[in-house]
A and B are shown apart, each in its own frame.
Chain A
Amino acid sequence: MSFLGSAECSTAGNPLSQFTKHVQDDKSLQHDRLVGRGPNGSLGSFRSQTRGTPQDEMMNGFLHQSPGLPEMPLEQQAGPMGNLHIDPNHAVHLRAKSASPPQWAGDFQSTQMAMESAFNAPPGTQFSPDEFAKFQQMGAPGASVSRSSPMPGAAAAGMMGGGMMGMGGMNSSMGGMSYGMMQRPMYQPMTSMYGQQAHMQPPQQQQEPEGKGKGKVVELDDTKWEEQFAQMELHDQDAKPDEALAMEPELNAMDEQLHSETGHGDFESIWRGLQAEREAMADLDVEEDFSKFDSSNFGGDNLNEWGLTNGRIGADPIIQEYLFEEENMFQAANSPFQEGVRIMTEGGNLSLAALAFEAAVQKNPDHLDAWVYLGSAQAQNEKEEAAIRALEHALKIDPNNLASLMGLAVSYTNEGYDSTAYRTLERWLSVRYPQVIAPENLSSAADLGFTDRAQLHDRVTTLFLNAARLAPDGDHMDPDVQVGLGVLFYGAEDYDKAVDCFQAALHSSELGTSNQREQVHLLWNRLGATLANSGRSEEAIAAYEKALAIHPNFVRARYNLGVSCINIGCHAEAAGHLLAALDMHKSVEKSGREKARELLGGDGDATDSHIEAMMTQNRSTTLYDTLRRVFTQMGRRDLAEKVVVGVDPDIFRGEFDF
């Protein structure tokens, strides 16, 4: 084969001179990785400790696997380092970035062998015709590419960070000259949680140009470097003239440094300079700085009203302060809280009730019950965000307020903040049933990864089941425990079980205390939503109608009714329900207007527009968005375009009944 003929030491003529990168680095880099040193395997000091480890046998085994074996499913891998696999192609990348050995590499092959023997380089790292013959005999070795999955989460970042930090210390024994010839270590955390490309790019780009031409990894022992360099020089002279010319300027530069009068002195200062640079780069990798490059800090446009979490998985949402309506007639009232309670119990307009409670807390920011009622009213009014802000504020006053905790768990579940919801339920339980879980034993937000979310869910569910067992049935069943369980099963999409729980809660509430009876419409709605999400739309509709029969002003139930109508294809009816819900927001009802006038003592101020202007904050985008979608699905783009946040539902009254 012609290949063998051309694979002589003449490097320019050896088209496979670059193969050394691939074949030789397989093991050495893998060794380095396994020993946890970090990605840069080209530092000689690492290689010395590679022989004879138990990992070798495993790797040799993999080296001889035949190609074409399908990869092991990721799920079956034993976990980090559980199944050790070769990753030879790490090598390709790293070597490619490190200056590719230039054409004179061939000359240095023999040189390198001499030098590397001083560093205990693994045999077989030099490409030569003999090696190739062996390569051919092995078939295509190293075929298995399944790799150990790196440790998930922060552990991996820690390992890599450790590797990188370690390099600083380990390098101190190396000659500065070698540093001059090597490129700088590559700070590339492979599995960093904050792997920002923007951050990583600059260091890489710096390294490439410097490395070129100097990048031959030549490890020079402190004392013997002069001798070794002299050897290199000798071989250099044997090189073909054109190649020698190519590298001449570089070598001359190196010459000067090495052979200057104060050779050793220069060398020291070079070394110190490099060390300083290295430390500066190492500082960059300290984790706090990663947050600078976390792109969640970019892009103001993508920030929602909630604000962003700190970017950690399972972290809680950042809740902002409650937004009050500017115009609020209840501010003039004597006892807005009482007014609000009366509106709620009479089943009046929820927006009006919310206004009353807003006035109450503006009068007295520490009025716990007012905050709780405000949150509850807004949730029923299909204004989830406002509800969450109000309930969180209540928790600031009293972290153990049961109604707030349960309400928040429901709201967080609706918004998809699953982990937060589960932790809130856990807290509720620790307050209500400390014998089941003591407050000291609560889960912390700090150590949550994606697998932990499932564990958290299971843990809290078990706790709730324990609580339920305390009063299995009959008069003493706690409907709230059933609600908690229902929310947990709902979050896990275990809808059948959730339905059972809400039904049990309904049953005991209907027969329970007056306070519990007041919650029945909420339970009908929760049951309905669970049925709806499990595809039982007709039953869901029946449940919502039960809720609305008790409280016709229950906006959320009306919205849900609209959603279920969409799901069974009754778009026009759905639009009707959604418009009705919006109407409750938009206009204060007749009785509401009367009430407003009453409150303001019939003085001129309470004009209709005045009252209209009172409901501008906390608009429910859900209602508007869903209405717009219904119109689009009906093929009525003209109507869809009219649906902007704040539009008066009256303009659609001609087409829809509500």
Chain B
Amino acid sequence: MPTIVVLGAGVSGLTCALQLAKRKEHAVTVVAKHMPGDYDIEYTSPWAGANVLPMALEETSRWERRSWPELRRLAIEVPESGIHLQKARVLRRIKDEEAAFKGSLSDGLFVVDPWYKTMMDDFRELDTSELPAGIRSGCEFGSVCINTAVYLPWLVGQCAARGVVFKRAALKHVSEAAALSHTGRRADVVVNASGLQACRLGGVMDATVQPARGQTVLVRNEASPHMMVLSGCDDGDDEMAYTMARGVGGGTILGGTYQKGNWDPNPDPSIAVRIMKRAVDLHPALTGGRGIEALDIIRHGVGLRPLRAAGVRLESERIDGTCVVHNYGHAGWGYQGSYGCAEGVLELIDEELAKPKSKL
């Protein structure tokens, strides 16, 4: 009976655990320092928006492609997951045209005529009459917004219903996870979904992983019907303008920033004000024409996206006698790539398990 330990309970780890547990023969244990319900700077997932705005270029689009159908299905069929449908508007500023609309957050989101136009629902380019000032062009498509505060615990529940066991532990070395299966057996495979911590975890120590700091403001005001994102903003290369409305009462997320190498867990008040101003400019309806003083703030947040220089690491490696399948470094697309990456992880695990063992 294949024994698997998943290290990390962020969206990546939980999705892998869930997909693994759907196979009844797998004995799955999730081991993590932080679990849904926690808010901690080391634990990125709760801080995310989150939504689906495809960011990859076509050649690396597999993960997002394979995730979208499931996220969409959850939005439509499983309201208790905390995901709901929401239209998105991606706006390309005149000022960013020279740089071919390559935003700081992504390579592929703002590309004209993007690969995802056939994947997302009802994709259309916006009519000039629909464009705000300063915008060269833009597109609209049906997407989803994920209320992370509801979705992460929902994933835990789905895992628990399929027999996954959860254990809190803070490990210093990835191979320690092999001994932590709830079955008492040595794990056949350890899934390393440690996110940003991959840069400090013994046995991994990936120096190419750094935070991309994202600051947000969560407000009670509503900015429906669209979630919006701009290709850039005047306040700086590492600042962004986007909004999204979390479902099931989750509030509206106003963002943001993309500050590479910045570990600061405290919300910066000046950034917060700029974020709020940009949001109100983007959506005057947010405050009914009034200024940012009319924003009803729930809280300010800071999340550190786990950014890996060469992109996500999805491969297996033998570390100290344990087969480790890495699944970390998703930067800002963790949720929208979660199911696709889990599928990749399962393929690698199947390969490993297919190797028969000799018996003493």
Q: Which residues of A contact B (CB under 8 A)?
A: 1-3, 6, 12-19, 21-23, 26, 67-75, 77, 87-90, 92-96, 100, 103, 132, 135, 140-145, 147, 149-150, 152-153, 188-198, 200-201, 204, 294-296, 298-302, 304, 306, 308-309, 311-317, 382, 384, 410, 413-420, 450-451, 453, 487, 490, 492-493, 525-526, 528-530, 532-533, 540, 556, 559-560, 562-564, 566-567, 622, 626, 629, 633
Beta-carbon contact of B180 and A197 below 8 Å: no
When distances are taken between beta carbons in the complex, the residues of chain B under 8 Å from A313 are: 179-180, 184
**Other-chain residue from B157, B202, B292 in contact with A75 (beta carbon distance below 8 A):** B202
What 1/0 flags go to B179-191 for Cβ under 8 Å of A? 1101111101000
Beta-carbon contact of A295 and B160 below 8 Å: yes
Provide 9 A-B residue pairs closer than 8 Å at the C-beta atoms, listed in order of the A residue: A18-B298, A88-B41, A89-B40, A92-B301, A145-B41, A145-B263, A191-B33, A317-B185, A560-B358
Give the shortest distance, in Å, between A129 (CB) and chain B (any CB). Answer: 11
A68 in contact with B184 given A13-B293, A15-B292, A201-B153 (CB within 8 Å): no
When distances are taken between beta carbons in the complex, the residues of chain B under 8 Å from A529 are: 358-360
Beta-carbon contact of B360 and A410 below 8 Å: yes
Beta-carbon contact of A633 and B354 below 8 Å: yes
What 1/0 flags go to B25-63 for Cβ under 8 Å of A? 011100001011111111000000000000000000000
Does B162 belong to the interface (CB within 8 Å)? yes
Beta-carbon contact of A143 and B264 below 8 Å: yes
Number of chain B residues whose Cβ lies closer than 8 Å to a Cβ of chain A? 80
Beta-carbon contact of B165 and A311 below 8 Å: yes
Give the shortest distance, in Å, between A557 (CB) and chain B (any CB). Answer: 9
When distances are taken between beta carbons in the complex, the residues of chain A under 8 Å from B170 are: 74, 149-150, 152, 191
Q: How far is the CA of A149 from the CA of B162 in the complex (A)?
A: 30
When distances are taken between beta carbons in the complex, the residues of chain B under 8 Å from A140 are: 264, 266, 268
Nearest 10 CB-CB pairs, A to B?
A299-B163, A93-B39, A302-B163, A309-B184, A416-B186, A416-B185, A529-B358, A195-B168, A532-B358, A493-B321
What 1/0 flags go to B92-113 for Cβ under 8 Å of A? 0000000000000000000000
A304 in contact with B262 given A152-B169, A299-B163 (CB within 8 Å): no
Q: How far is the CA of A75 from the CA of B299 in the complex (A)?
A: 34
Q: How far is the CA of A418 from the CA of B180 in the complex (A)?
A: 12
Give the shortest distance, in Å, between B308 (CB) and chain A (any CB). Answer: 14
Beta-carbon contact of B270 and A87 below 8 Å: no
Identity of the chain A residue whose Cβ is nearest the Cβ of B152 in the assembled complex:
A197
Identity of the chain B residue whose Cβ is nearest the Cβ of A540 in the assembled complex:
B358
A71 in contact with B199 given A15-B272, A540-B358, A564-B358 (CB within 8 Å): yes
Label chain B's interface by main secondary structure: loop
When distances are taken between beta carbons in the complex, the residues of chain A under 8 Å from B26 are: 302
Beta-carbon contact of A311 and B299 below 8 Å: no
Beta-carbon contact of A197 and B157 below 8 Å: yes
Beta-carbon contact of B200 and A15 below 8 Å: no
What 1/0 flags go to B252-293 for Cβ under 8 Å of A? 000000000111111111101100100000000000000011
Q: How far is the CA of A147 from the CA of B37 in the complex (A)?
A: 19
Does B313 belong to the interface (CB within 8 Å)? no
Interface residues of B in 170-225 (CB under 8 A from A): 170-173, 176, 179-180, 182-186, 188, 197, 199-202, 205, 210
Beta-carbon contact of B162 and A302 below 8 Å: yes
When distances are taken between beta carbons in the complex, the residues of chain B under 8 Å from A200 are: 37
Q: How far is the CA of A103 from the CA of B358 in the complex (A)?
A: 68
**Other-chain residue from A12, A73, A559 in contact with B359 (beta carbon distance below 8 A):** A559
Does B356 belong to the interface (CB within 8 Å)? yes
When distances are taken between beta carbons in the complex, the residues of chain B under 8 Å from A204 are: 37
**Other-chain residue from B27, B166, B358 in contact with A295 (beta carbon distance below 8 A):** B166
Q: How far is the CA of A103 from the CA of B219 in the complex (A)?
A: 13
Does B1 belong to the interface (CB within 8 Å)? yes
Beta-carbon contact of A487 and B360 below 8 Å: yes
**Other-chain residue from B37, B171, B293 in contact with A12 (beta carbon distance below 8 A):** B293
Q: How far is the CA of A194 from the CA of B182 in the complex (A)?
A: 11
Q: How far is the CA of A529 from the CA of B356 in the complex (A)?
A: 12
Beta-carbon contact of B42 and A1 below 8 Å: no
Identity of the chain A residue whose Cβ is nearest the Cβ of B261 in the assembled complex:
A68
Beta-carbon contact of A295 and B263 below 8 Å: no
Other A-B contacts than A74-B201, A89-B302, A530-B360, 16 sampled, CB-CB below 8 A, are: A3-B273, A68-B263, A69-B263, A90-B39, A93-B38, A93-B39, A95-B299, A103-B296, A143-B266, A191-B169, A194-B167, A198-B157, A295-B164, A309-B184, A313-B180, A487-B360
Beta-carbon contact of B356 and A415 below 8 Å: no
Beta-carbon contact of A566 and B356 below 8 Å: yes
A90 in contact with B300 given A1-B270, A143-B264, A150-B170 (CB within 8 Å): no
Identity of the chain A residue whose Cβ is nearest the Cβ of B213 in the assembled complex:
A67
**Other-chain residue from A88, A92, A201 in contact with B299 (beta carbon distance below 8 A):** A92
Q: How far is the CA of A72 from the CA of B343 in the complex (A)?
A: 32
Identity of the chain A residue whose Cβ is nearest the Cβ of B27 in the assembled complex:
A302
Q: How far is the CA of A301 from the CA of B162 in the complex (A)?
A: 8
Beta-carbon contact of B180 and A450 below 8 Å: yes
Does B297 belong to the interface (CB within 8 Å)? yes
